[in-house]
Homo-oligomer: A and B are copies of this chain.
């Protein structure tokens, strides 16, 4: 089913009733594909749709001074601009990282539907609030941890979020992130990210070959990254 990843995602954070599932099954969407680095939304845009990520990865960006800071990564099942429902004016960019497939859903449909389905509205609000919880953790990650912990933490987070929508097999998952992407996300230089990844590899914590990341020593990696899952607010 087209929206399976969305359902996986929402089920990871809340219970969905049969009615909720029916509503989601009938959700009208327009699907569009994007190549690497394409803009889905730009800073200053006024939005009338939300975009559900079906396949691939998206990132929110912000230009600060002469640097581009990545504010969050998004995995399939995420709706990275859900906030535009009540805050339509974008204050950052939303782009693809690698090729991505996105389903657009109109604000009108959302507003009409969520008015009539309070339980589903609750789930979506929960989703949007978890988005903010992740921001908080990123502030702590960038502000308080050293380079190796930042990268380890980010890897753990992506792994946990991908696992929630069934995109981790064994201890491996695929991501299109370049070292520059990681640098922009963690507030580091690309050169330093390179050396930090080597450190993680030589410590035997991860393997990162091409687009495939493998977590070799999960608990050690989580320790290095000071990672706990509570902020993701996953069920159980």
Contact = CB atoms under 8 A, between A and B. Distances in A.
A60 B136 contact: yes
Contacts of A99: none
A91 B231 contact: yes
Contacts of A187: 142-144
A108 interface: no
Given A62-B136, A126-B86, A133-B87, A143 B142 contact: yes
A30 to B, nearest CB: 24
B145 A142 contact: no
Interface residues of A, number: 45
A139 B230 CA distance: 20
B144 A65 contact: yes
Contact of A62 (B44, B62, B122, B137): B137
A65 B149 CA distance: 9
A233 interface: yes
A200 interface: no
Which of A141, A142, A233 gathers the greatest number of chain B CB atoms within 10 Å? Answer: A142
Nearest to A67: B144
A138 interface: yes
Contacts of A83: 129, 132-133
A92 interface: yes
A125 to B, nearest CB: 5
Interface string A195-231: 0000000000000000000000000000000100011
9 contacts: A62-B136, A64-B141, A64-B145, A65-B149, A86-B122, A89-B233, A128-B129, A132-B132, A135-B139
